């Protein structure tokens, strides 16, 4: 980022200097000046100066970075439109003082020391933003050029990553601590109380499996985040859903939960089979986890209005209204204890949402406490002929 800014800064500096010089000598539009305005100037030179001025001004106006020119007392002299927007200047009116204390301090430092200075500045006006600011003093000490780049998004992403790493480490700590405690308990019980040792050993296996699932989910999420291009295989979503649903038949009948499938054949999308399988599996796992025995889980796959629809419904515990918008966040659980008991990682829905968004779709939930929940994923269908060819062949 610094290098990019440096090269941008240097690249425009020549233009900026022309701009400042012309701006100072021709405060009225240079293009409107008359020959007599420049003592000893001739018309060819003046035309050349006008062209260069227009050229410099156009470059500055088109830049995404804000460029501010300040005089020797750090008073704003001129700016391009990005600079006006970033500093919240009124059109054509420059204030006597920069509104951002941090940017002003940087410019004053650069002026006082005669060397370029750069720093991250947080501004609150005209909006809350993080700006990367670089102040380069003019060689004769008559002013300073400040280049501003809006890095709010980049800083936000970095912060989210840091929070995620902190959160993930915290989540990993608890099964690791449980494994340690259980191993110690087994060591003590193995001679005196073999039944107890057996019990601890079962719990240790369950904790190790949960840890394994957490690591797998973290890796899945990382892979999804690194995916640079949208998945582009022609996939029969119906087939993916059928094979994922098959996995749940035996546990469903063992639990006495009825499992209904309404999977229309030949629902085609462009996608990644593995990711789509994970998404459907996560929705079904949740439906079964959060539905008591004797309840009902349904999966429906269909095509409507140019979209493939996957609806997974249950008659389970439901999700409180205030939690419905949060269940797709990483590590968010309505009931931490219940999720943990069922071996949940708190990442299943975050992964499902990520997969669906990578496929250009979106997911929503409708739920009523004590009545059940329905998760609906919509993903744009593939072009009709792509699906037809494979359906007929199949
Ligand atoms: P977990 O591994 O905890 O199930 P998820 O990301 O899959 O994590 O889900 C997040 C939270 O959303 C769960 O902890 C649970 O509170 C809630 N949830 C998800 N699916 C359902 C469902 N079908 N019924 C009730 N609550 C659900």
**What CATH number did the domain enclosing 218 receive?**
1.10.287.130
From the list 100, 8, 17, the residue with the least C-alpha distance to 53 is 17
Q: How far is the CA of 80 from the centre of ligand 1 (A)?
A: 50
Average pLDDT over the chain reads 87
Atom of ligand 1 nearest to the CA of 282: 7
Q: Tell me, in angstroms, the distance from the centre of ligand 1 to residue 180's CA.
A: 27
Ligand 1: which residues within 6 Å by Cβ? 282, 286-287, 290, 314, 316-317, 319, 327, 332-335, 339, 344-350, 373
Is the pLDDT confidence value at 8 over 80?
A: no
- Answer whether 97's CB lies under 8 Å from 88's CB: no
Looking at the fold, whether 239 and 387 belong to one and the same domain comes out as: yes
Q: What's the 313 CA to ligand 1 centre distance in angstroms?
A: 13
- Give the range among 68-77, 192-201, 338-347 with minimum mean pLDDT: 338-347
Band of pLDDT at residue 15, cut at 50, 70 and 90: low
Tokens of 43: 């018309």
Question: Does pTM top 0.85 for this prediction?
Answer: no
How far is the centre of ligand 1, averaged over its atoms, from the C-alpha of 171 (Å)?
16
Q: Is the pLDDT of residue 334 over 50?
A: yes
The sign of the dihedral angle between the CA atoms of 124, 135, 76, 86 is: negative
* Residue 5 pLDDT exceeds 50: no
120 in helix, strand or coil?
strand
Q: In this prediction, what percent of the chain has a pLDDT beyond 90?
A: 71
Does 168 lie in the same domain as 112? no
Last residue of a domain, one of 126, 150, 174: 150
Does 172 lie in the same domain as 257?
no
CATH number of the domain bearing residue 264:
3.30.565.10
Residues 253 and 379 in one domain: yes
In the chain, what is the straight-line distance between the N-terminal and C-terminal CA atoms, in Å?
Answer: 52
And the tokens for 378? 């919509």
DSSP assignment, residue 99? S
Q: What is the pLDDT of residue 39?
A: 55
Using alpha carbons only, what angle is made at residue 18 by residues 69 and 43, rounded to the nearest 5 degrees? 140
Domain boundary among the residues 207, 226, 245 is at 226
Looking at ligand 1, which residue's alpha carbon is closest to its atom 14? 333
Q: Is the pLDDT of residue 17 over 60?
A: no
Could you tell me the pLDDT band of residue 90, with boundaries at 50, 70 and 90?
A: confident
- Ligand 1 mean position, distance from CA 348 (Å): 8
Residues 118, 196 share a domain: no
Task: Report CA(131)–ligand 1 centroid distance (Å).
Answer: 38
* 29 has a pLDDT exceeding 80: no
Q: Which of 364, 371, 332 is nearest to 348 (CA)?
A: 332
Say whether both 161 and 256 belong to one domain.
no
Q: What is the best residue among 325, 335, 349 to mutate for testing ligand 1's pocket, by most ligand atoms within 8 Å of CB?
A: 349
With the most atoms of ligand 1 within 8 angstroms of its CB, the residue from 290, 352, 353 to mutate is 290
| Closest ligand 1 atom number to CA of residue 287 | 23
Q: Whose CA is nearest to atom 20 of ligand 1?
A: 286
CATH number of the domain enclosing 144: 3.30.450.20
For residue 111, give the 3-state DSSP assignment: helix
Place of tokens 């025995």: 293
Given the CA of residue 351, which atom of ligand 1 is nearest to it? 6
SS3 of residue 383 by DSSP? coil
Residue 237's nearest CA partner among 44, 68, 377 is: 377
Q: What is the 3-state secondary structure (H, E, C) of 126-168?
A: CCCEEEEEEEEECCCCCEEEEEEEECHHHHHHHHHHHHHHHHH
- Main-chain dihedrals φ then ψ at residue 140, nearest 5 degrees: -85, 5
Tell me how far apart the alpha carbons of residues 97 and 99 are, in angstroms, rounded to a whole number: 6
Q: Averaged over 284-298, what is the pLDDT?
A: 95
Same-domain status, 255 and 116: no
- Whole-number Å distance between alpha carbons of 227 and 190: 48
Question: Ligand 1: which of 286, 288, 321 to mutate, judged by most atoms within 8 Å of the beta carbon?
Answer: 286
Q: Is the pLDDT of residue 57 over 90?
A: no
Residues 74 and 114 in one domain: yes
Q: How confident is the model at residue 10 (pLDDT cuts 50, 70, 90)?
A: very low
Cβ proximity of 387 and 306 under 8 Å: no
* Span 312-331, average pLDDT: 95
Distance 220 CA to ligand 1 centre (A): 18
Q: Which atom of ligand 1 is nearest to the CA of 328?
A: 6
| Contact call for residues 334 and 344 (beta carbons, < 8 A) | no
Across the beta sheet with 258-263, the strand order is 258-263, 296-304, 307-314, 372-380, 362-368
Tokens of 138: 């003019």
How far apart CA 155 and CA 153 sit, in angstroms, is: 5
Question: What does the pLDDT read at residue 42?
Answer: 81
103 and 245 part of one domain: no
Backbone angles phi, psi at 157, to 5 degrees: -65, -45
What's the total number of domains in the chain? 3
Q: Give pLDDT, residue 225.
A: 84
Residue ranges in 63-100 assigned as alpha helix (H): 81-87
Q: Pick from 156, 278, 281: which is nearest to 227 by CA?
A: 278
Q: How far apart are CA 187 and CA 184, in angstroms?
A: 5
Whether residues 236 and 346 share a domain: the answer is yes
The answer to whether the bond into 126 is cis (omega within 30° of 0) is: yes
Residues 30 and 178 in one domain: no
Q: Name the band, by pLDDT with cuts 50, 70 and 90, for residue 386.
A: low
**Is 271 in contact with 344 (CB distance < 8 Å)?**
no
Residue whose CA is at the smallest distance from ligand 1 atom 12: 327
Tell me which of 226, 252, 268 is where a domain ends. 226
Q: Do residues 165 and 143 share a domain?
A: no
pLDDT, tens digit (0-9, with 9 covering 90-100), for 227-258: 877 788 999 999 999 999 999 999 999 999 99
Question: What's the CA-to-centroid distance between 326 and ligand 1, angstroms?
Answer: 10
Q: How far is the CA of 318 from the centre of ligand 1 (A)?
A: 9
The domain of 11 spans 4-150
Least confident of 109-123, 130-144, 176-190, 330-344: 330-344
**Nearest of 280, 366, 364 to residue 328 by alpha carbon:** 364
């Amino acid at each position: 980022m610094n290098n990019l800014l440096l090269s941008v800064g240097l690249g425009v500096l020549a233009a900026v200097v022309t701009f400042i010089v012309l701006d100072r000598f021709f405060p009225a539009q240079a293009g409107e000046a008359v020959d007599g305005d420049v003592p000893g100037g001739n018309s060819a030179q003046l035309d050349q100066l006008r062209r260069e001025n227009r050229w410099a001004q156009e470059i500055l106006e088109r830049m995404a970075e804000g460029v501010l020119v300040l005089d020797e007392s750090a008073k704003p002299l001129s700016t391009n439109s990005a600079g006006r927007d970033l500093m919240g200047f009124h059109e054509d009116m420059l204030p006597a003082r920069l509104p951002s204390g941090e940017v002003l301090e940087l410019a004053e430092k650069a002026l006082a020391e005669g060397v370029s200075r750069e720093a991250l500045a947080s501004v609150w006006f005209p909006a809350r933003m993080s700006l990367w600011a670089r102040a380069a003093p003019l060689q004769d000490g008559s002013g300073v050029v400040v280049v501003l780049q809006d890095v709010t998004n980049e800083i936000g992403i970095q912060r989210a990553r840091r929070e995620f790493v902190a959160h993930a480490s915290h989540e990993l700590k608890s099964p690791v601590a449980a494994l340690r405690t259980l191993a110690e308990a087994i060591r003590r019980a193995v001679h005196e109380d073999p039944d107890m040792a057996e019990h601890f050993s079962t719990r240790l296996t369950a904790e190790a499996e949960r840890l394994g699932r957490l690591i797998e989910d973290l890796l899945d999420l990382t892979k999804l985040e690194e995916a640079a291009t949208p998945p582009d295989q022609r996939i029969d979503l119906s087939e993916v859903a059928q094979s994922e649903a098959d996995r749940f038949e035996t546990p469903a009948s063992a639990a006495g939960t009825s499992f209904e499938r309404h999977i229309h054949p030949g629902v085609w999308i462009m996608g990644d089979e593995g990711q789509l399988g994970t998404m459907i599996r996560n929705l079904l796992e949740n439906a079964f986890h959060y539905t008591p025995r004797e309840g009902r889980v349904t999966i429906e796959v269909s095509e409507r209005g140019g979209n493939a629809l996957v609806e997974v419904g249950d008659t389970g515990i439901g999700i409180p209204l205030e939690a419905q918008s949060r269940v797709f966040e990483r590590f968010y659980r309505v009931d931490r204890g219940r999720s943990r008991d069922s071996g949940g990682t708190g990442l299943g829905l975050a992964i499902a949402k990520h997969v669906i968004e990578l496929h250009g779709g979106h997911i929503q939930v409708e739920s009523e406490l004590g009545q059940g929940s329905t998760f609906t994923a919509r993903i744009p269908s593939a072009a009709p002929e792509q699906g037809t060819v494979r359906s007929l062949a199949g």
